[in-house]
Amino acid sequence: MRRPRVLSIPITLSLYVGRRFLFAVLGMQAGLTAIGSLFDFLDLLRQASDKPHATFGRVLAMEILRVPWLGMQILPFAVLLGGIFAFWRLTRSSELVVARASGVSAWQFLAMPVICAALVGAVTTTMVSPLSAVMFARAETLYSMYLQVGSGPLSLTGGQLWLRQADPASGAGGVAILHARDVHLKGKELTTGHVTVLRLDRHTSLHDRIEARSGVLRPGGWTLDHVAVLKADAAPDLRATMRFPTDLTVGRVQESFASPSALSFWALPRFITLLERSGFSPTRHELAFQSLLALPLLCATMALVAAGFSMRPARRGGAGQMLGAGLVFGFILFMLSDVAEQFGKSGALPVILAAWAPAAAGLMLALALLLHLEDG
């Protein structure tokens, strides 16, 4: 008769601890997002100070649209700080001390906080990410319209565009490689300077080469001006204009050079495939997708780190040092994630390793610390 009663105590306690943890994390998330948004808003106001069209209302709308994205960036640290606060309060009130003294293992009452943290990360990835992507894309559009003067060349490739696509005109299995200079995006139109197209057959032998003085990307293909079609052992074929078909659109070019934050978790896999097929580098988008996949694990890791650094009984002394060490470790893990992300973008690290290694490393350290606290 006593066995069900023993089982019910850890479940009730775990639910209680999980509720306290969740409320603390949500409160910390709201507070940190508000503070971060305030500083971001002040920075936008500074940038708008010498731009008459960037009114206070437009800058405020920009910042409101950026709030979900900013909240996603802050979430892991909010889990850490909220967890430290919740576990410190429970330890200071001796609730966790009494529970552990009664024979309840720390792993039992920590199960629910860890599950809550992972669920918060999963909900953010699957549900908040689409909303954040739509709002962030709109915020970027407003930023380009009112705070970024001039369209300028595409910054990602120094104003140059490379494209690889299938080319049936070169024969079955043929491909075309297009290189355009001085590429400019102006609204819904993409214009280029000198354009070179290499058309290769399925054996990668050169079929012909197209040189054009300028080009404009329109639905269904490129319109090339002042064209010379060059073939081996043949005179150049000069044309005033030429239509070169492509499945690339201005919208896809805009999306490919936009921040991956403007694409939702559900849209990223399809767009990564499109980038690979079009010849663009998908590294940034792959890293963003893997980071979103790893977010639940990172949040669960932060919950365990918070528990490991805040459950030391106050009577043992050194509680302040442990809390400080937890904050320092959280900052280090945050910085490690950022450094790994930069290495991943540069190609120095595989994308999966760059996205998952910080969370996995933090999880191993947190488990080691909890094992030490639990088993002495």
In 3D, which of 101, 87, 73, 83 has the Cα closest to residue 26?
Answer: 83
Distance (Å, whole) CA 164 – CA 178: 6
On the question of pLDDT at 171 being above 50, the answer is yes
- Which among 223, 258, 293 is the end of a domain? 258
Bigger pLDDT: 34 vs 343? 34
The CATH number covering residue 197 comes to 2.60.450
On the question of pLDDT at 131 being above 80, the answer is yes
Q: Quick check: helix, strand or coil at residue 197? A: strand
Distance (Å, whole) CA 210 – CA 228: 6
Bigger pLDDT: 317 vs 54? 54
Q: Are residues 120 and 33 in the same domain?
A: yes
Q: Are residues 112 and 254 in the same domain?
A: no
On whether the CB atoms of residues 257 and 248 are closer than 8 A, the answer is: no
Q: Are residues 184 and 307 in the same domain?
A: no
| 96 part of a folded domain | yes
CA distances (Å), origin 153, targets 6, 123, 226, 282, 351: 68, 38, 22, 20, 28
- Which of 42-46, 171-175, 338-342 has the highest mean predicted lDDT (pLDDT)? 42-46
Q: Are residues 142 and 286 in the same domain?
A: yes
Q: Are residues 174 and 142 in the same domain?
A: no
On the question of pLDDT at 376 being above 60, the answer is no
Structural domain that includes position 56: 2-148+282-375
| 268 part of a folded domain | no
| 274 part of a folded domain | no
Identify the pLDDT of residue 187: 60
Identify the pLDDT of residue 167: 80
User: Which tens digit of pLDDT belongs to each residue from 41-86?
Assistant: 999 999 998 888 889 999 999 999 999 999 999 999 999 999 999 9
Q: Are residues 190 and 63 in the same domain?
A: no
On the question of pLDDT at 371 being above 60, the answer is yes
| 182 part of a folded domain | yes
CA distances (Å), origin 251, targets 137, 163, 302, 324: 13, 15, 38, 48
Distance (Å, whole) CA 259 – CA 134: 12
Q: Are residues 143 and 194 in the same domain?
A: no
Q: Are residues 204 and 171 in the same domain?
A: yes
| 154 part of a folded domain | no
Q: Are residues 75 and 141 in the same domain?
A: yes
Tokens read off for 204: 């990668």
On whether the CB atoms of residues 44 and 62 are closer than 8 A, the answer is: yes
Identify the pLDDT of residue 142: 85
Residue 345 CA neighbour count, 13 Å, CB half:
12
The model's confidence at residue 315, banded by pLDDT at 50, 70 and 90, is low
| 363 part of a folded domain | yes
Q: What is the mean pLDDT of residues 303-329?
A: 72
Q: Are residues 294 and 345 in the same domain?
A: yes
| 191 part of a folded domain | yes
Residue indicated by tokens 């290189």:
179
Q: Number of structural domains, the chain? A: 2
| 153 part of a folded domain | no
On whether the CB atoms of residues 83 and 25 are closer than 8 A, the answer is: yes
Q: Are residues 25 and 119 in the same domain?
A: yes
Distance (Å, whole) CA 301 – CA 303: 5
Q: Are residues 96 and 192 in the same domain?
A: no
DSSP string, 59-126: HHHHHHHHHHHHHHHHHHHHHHHHHHHHHHHHHHTTHHHHHHHTT--HHHHHHHHHHHHHHHHHHIII
CA distances (Å), origin 206, targets 57, 128, 200: 56, 48, 5
